[in-house]
Structure 1
Amino acid sequence: MTLVTIIAGRVTPMFTANAVPGYAFRRWSAIKALAVPLPLLAFAYNALGASAWLVGSAAGATAVVHGIRLAEWRSWQVGRRPILAILHAAYAWVPLSFAPLALSALGFVPHSIALHALAVGLLGGGIIAMITRTALGHTSRRLVAGSTYCLLLPRDRRRYSARFRPVARE
């Protein structure tokens, strides 16, 4: 996960800047400084069985920081470029996986939602996005992709929202 945030944090804005004329994005130093250690902290707390408050706080902070980071990249500027849009959409699964991790630590939703969002949304979408982008780039082909990426996003959203049911409390 940390490797994903490091690599995506470098290549997504760079690929976008190379392809979109006049593209500019912000980079706040506080967000940049927190983007890598917060997911590590959240996962460490979760794996070590720390208190629900610690896991929830770290995961919630991670979701907020990475949501801000994604907003810094101004994803709406990619326009109708599926090969870039999928990179931004895949990265959106970082906050979409840590928010339910925070909620699951506090007992509001099943833990599997966070793991599902991380595995299917972020890793699955991110791998497909990076493989196609780098394969085209390294074989000197045009950096364009069809709209088949659009089929991935509704699939991931449906699977994610179908599992998002409140935990029954006694």
Structure 2
Amino acid sequence: MLNIDDPKVIDRTPALLRLAFRPFFLLAAVWACIAIPLWLLAWYHPEFSPFAQKFWSNVVPLWWHPHEMLFGFAMAVVAGFLLTASQNWTNQPGIKGGQLGLVVGLWAMARLTLMLPWDLPIWLPASFDCAFLLAVAVKLTVVMLKVRQWRNMVFPVLLFVAAAINLLSYWTLANHNLSLSLQIWQAMIWWLALIITVMGGRVIPFFTAARLKLTKREPITWIEWTTPSLLALMLVNSLVPFLPYVAKVIVLTVAGVLQLVRLARWYPLKTVKIPLLWSLHLGYLFLPISLLAMAYYANNPLLERQLLHLFAIGTMAGVCLSMISRVSLGHTGRNIYQGPNMAPAFLMLAVAAIVRTILPLEQPADSYTWHWLAAALWCGAFGMFVWHYTKILARPRLDGRPG
């Protein structure tokens, strides 16, 4: 079997391109710090936005914001994580060097061509964006088929689905169908909830038990199958609504309760002294809270859409920040639990989720203040990652191994 971690092999690849987590995690954090202020400037102060006129003439602000959070920020983290993890899962070499640079370039060109103040056709950024997702999906498919790792084939399948949904999102932009685009953003929220449910169910209890030297509780099979199935059902229902009101409430409620049961079995209260553990549990906790809150307000589409931010910031961003902080240390040969203190960043994101979601509902007249406060907390959290981890990601492993 190929030894993909041979310390005797001299790797002359630039450190930032040695494994996918390096450029994708760093770019995701940088983009997080850039995209949110740009969005708020465009929404509240278009006269100060660097893209006030020409940019927004072709790209609708209400489309750009969720698209760039889901397909820009979140997909960069997903790609970096899966392309890196697949090397460990399959014992096959990960993508690196020029090939990795090309995939990263596709992601970056999609972001850039959407922002250029020129009259570019929508198919151009759409092509870059979908090519990026397809490249990641194909790479994962090839390595997993090579070793017949059927259990993890769910991830390239989900990426192929995401590429199709992304292409549809560009179609809605080109045809000014904002109603359908709202359905797409909801579908992608469920897509991310699904992938976090699957991956979280594997890594959170494993990391927790290993660090605390506890016996990892075996998953309850029917819960492990039912929970993601319900989320997949919500994904389909977002694109093609078919669930009646009562059925939707039941699905959301049952999914929320089952997520709480899963989390409760992972020893969450024993992690309070270890930020890289409690941050995962805290981020995951926002998922069942979001599901139950959306079930409660299922008869109010406006409030239901507002509550998507509880998941998007609390779970999506929270789990992403915790994972990229952890993976960046482990895969650069550092002690995972002796890295930079990211506890303030994790707390800032949790507070940002509440400030952005709950306070505008309670005090809508002050929404301007809450939105900018949440943005400041968000940027502070990801700014901390950029500050602490740029040198870590841009330098070779401490132990001299490839990767």
Q: TM-score, normalised by structure 1?
A: 0.86
Deviation of 1:60 after TM superposition, in Å, equals 1.0
The residue that corresponds to 1:60 in the other structure is: 253
Question: Of 155, 159, 164, which aligns to 2:356?
Answer: 159
Question: Of 226, 232, 253, which aligns to 1:40?
Answer: 232
Q: 2:231 corresponds to which letter in structure 1?
A: P
Assess, with a 3 A threshold, how the Cα gap between structure 1 residues 161 and 81 changes in structure 2: closer, same or farther. same
CA contact (8 A) 2:259 2:288 kept: yes
The residue that corresponds to 2:322 in the other structure is: 129
CA contact (8 A) 1:26 1:72 kept: no
Greater C-alpha Rg: 2
Instruction: Tell me which moved more, 104-113 or 126-135.
Output: 104-113
Deviation of 1:163 after TM superposition, in Å, equals 4.1
Structure 1, residues 59-97: CA drift from partner, whole Å, max 9, x if none? 111111101111111201113000111111111121122
Assess, with a 3 A threshold, how the Cα gap between structure 1 residues 23 and 151 changes in structure 2: closer, same or farther. farther
The residue that corresponds to 2:194 in the other structure is: 2
Residue 89 of structure 1 pairs with residue 286 of structure 2: no
Q: 1:39 corresponds to which letter in structure 2?
A: L
Aligned residues: 165
The residue that corresponds to 2:212 in the other structure is: 20
Structure 1, residues 15-66: CA drift from partner, whole Å, max 9, x if none? 1122112354353223222121011123323443231112111111111110
Structure 1, residues 106-144: CA drift from partner, whole Å, max 9, x if none? 339711233112211111111111111111111111212
Instruction: Tell me which moved more, 86-95 or 140-149.
Output: 140-149
Residue 104 of structure 1 pairs with residue 297 of structure 2: yes
CA contact (8 A) 2:313 2:350 kept: no
Structure 2 gap ranges (5+):
1-192, 363-403
Assess, with a 3 A threshold, how the Cα gap between structure 1 residues 7 and 16 changes in structure 2: closer, same or farther. same
The residue that corresponds to 2:110 in the other structure is: none
- CA–CA separation in structure 2 for the residues paired with 1:151 and 1:121: 10
CA contact (8 A) 1:75 1:85 kept: yes
Q: 1:121 corresponds to which letter in structure 2?
A: G
Assess, with a 3 A threshold, how the Cα gap between structure 1 residues 118 and 79 changes in structure 2: closer, same or farther. closer
- CA–CA separation in structure 1 for the residues paired with 2:329 and 2:201: 20
Deviation of 1:100 after TM superposition, in Å, equals 2.2
Q: TM-score, normalised by structure 2?
A: 0.38
Question: Of 113, 116, 119, which aligns to 2:309?
Answer: 116
> Share of identical aligned residues, percent?
24
SS for the counterpart of 2:209 is helix
Query: What is the CA RMSD across the aligned residues, in angstroms?
Result: 2.0
Assess, with a 3 A threshold, how the Cα gap between structure 1 residues 58 and 31 changes in structure 2: closer, same or farther. same
Assess, with a 3 A threshold, how the Cα gap between structure 1 residues 26 and 71 changes in structure 2: closer, same or farther. farther
- CA–CA separation in structure 2 for the residues paired with 1:32 and 1:108: 29
Assess, with a 3 A threshold, how the Cα gap between structure 1 residues 41 and 97 changes in structure 2: closer, same or farther. same
Assess, with a 3 A threshold, how the Cα gap between structure 1 residues 104 and 45 changes in structure 2: closer, same or farther. farther
- CA–CA separation in structure 1 for the residues paired with 2:333 and 2:207: 15
- CA–CA separation in structure 1 for the residues paired with 2:229 and 2:328: 30
CA contact (8 A) 1:12 1:87 kept: yes
The residue that corresponds to 2:336 in the other structure is: 143
- CA–CA separation in structure 1 for the residues paired with 2:311 and 2:272: 25
The residue that corresponds to 2:15 in the other structure is: none
